[in-house]
Structure 1
Amino acid sequence: MNDMHHAWLGSYEISSTHCTGLNFARHSHDECVIGVNLIGEENVWLDRREFVAGPGSITLYNPGQIQGGGAADGAPWQFVSLYATADQLAHDLGLAYVEFDRAVCFQPALAQSLAAAVHGALSTDALIRELNEDALVLALAEVVSLSGVRLPSATAPGNSLISRAQELLAEQLHQSLPLEQLGDELGLSKFHLLRTFQKETGLSPRQWAMQLRTRRAKGLLRNGVSAGQVAHDLGFADQSHLNRHFRAAYGITPGRYQNVLQR
Structure 2
Amino acid sequence: MTAQNWIDIAHDSDTGIETLRAHFVGHAYDPHWHDSYLIGVTEQGVQQFNCRRARHLSTPGQVFHLEPGEIHDGEAPTAGGFTYRMLYLDPCWLQHELSTLFEEAPLNSQLSFPSTLTDDVRLAQATSEAFQCIHQGELTIVRQSILDNLLEQLTNHLQWRQRYREDIRLPQVALRARDILHDQMEQDLSLEILSRACGVDRFRLNRAFRAAFGLPPHAYLVQLRLAKARKLLALGRQPVEVAMSTGFADQSHMGRWFLRAYGVAPAHYRKLCTNLPDI
- Residue number among 151, 157, 173 corresponding to 1:140 in the alignment: 151
Flag the structure with larger Rg: 1
Match for residue 89 of structure 1?
A: 94
2:7 paired with 1:4: yes
C-alpha contact (below 8 Å) 2:122/2:153 kept by paired residues: no
2:46 paired with 1:56: no
C-alpha contact (below 8 Å) 2:40/2:86 kept by paired residues: yes
Q: d(CA) in 2 for partners of 1:70 and 1:137?
A: 32
Change (3 A) 1:43 1:20: same
2:103 paired with 1:100: no
User: Aligned letter for 2:131?
Assistant: V
C-alpha contact (below 8 Å) 1:30/1:63 kept by paired residues: yes
Tell me, what secondary structure is at the counterpart of 2:112?
coil
| 1:73 to partner: Cα distance | 5.6
What's the TM-score once normalised by structure 1's chain length? 0.50
What's the TM-score once normalised by structure 2's chain length? 0.48
C-alpha contact (below 8 Å) 1:55/1:108 kept by paired residues: no
C-alpha contact (below 8 Å) 2:126/2:149 kept by paired residues: no
Q: d(CA) in 2 for partners of 1:133 and 1:74?
A: 38
| 1:148 to partner: Cα distance | 4.5
Change (3 A) 1:39 1:47: same
Match for residue 205 of structure 1?
A: none
Match for residue 121 of structure 1?
A: 134
Tell me, what secondary structure is at the counterpart of 1:98?
strand
User: Aligned letter for 1:92?
Assistant: E
- Residue number among 73, 97, 104 corresponding to 1:68 in the alignment: 73
Tell me, what secondary structure is at the counterpart of 1:65?
coil
Q: CA RMSD in A?
A: 2.4
Q: d(CA) in 2 for partners of 1:53 and 1:148?
A: 22
Q: d(CA) in 2 for partners of 1:85 and 1:16?
A: 18
Higher normalized helix content (fraction of residues): 1
Match for residue 47 of structure 1?
A: 52
C-alpha contact (below 8 Å) 1:101/1:149 kept by paired residues: no
Q: What aligned pairs does 1:9-28 form with structure 2 within 5 A after superposition? A: 9=12, 10-28=15-33
Q: Which runs of 5+ in 2 are unaligned?
A: 162-279
Q: d(CA) in 2 for partners of 1:121 and 1:93?
A: 18
C-alpha contact (below 8 Å) 1:56/1:109 kept by paired residues: no
Q: What aligned pairs does 1:173-184 form with structure 2 within 5 A after superposition? A: none
| 1:123 to partner: Cα distance | 1.3
C-alpha contact (below 8 Å) 1:20/1:71 kept by paired residues: yes
User: Aligned letter for 1:8?
Assistant: H
User: Aligned letter for 1:69?
Assistant: G
- Residue number among 11, 18, 30 corresponding to 2:35 in the alignment: 30
Tell me, what secondary structure is at the counterpart of 1:145?
coil
- Would you say how many aligned residue pairs link Structure 1 and Structure 2? 148
Higher relative contact order (CA 8 A, sep 6+): 2
Q: d(CA) in 2 for partners of 1:27 and 1:8?
A: 20
Change (3 A) 1:109 1:27: same
Q: d(CA) in 2 for partners of 1:143 and 1:68?
A: 23
| 1:147 to partner: Cα distance | 4.1
Q: d(CA) in 2 for partners of 1:11 and 1:91?
A: 13
| 1:89 to partner: Cα distance | 0.6
Change (3 A) 1:6 1:130: farther
Q: d(CA) in 2 for partners of 1:4 and 1:15?
A: 7
Quote the sequence identity (%). 24
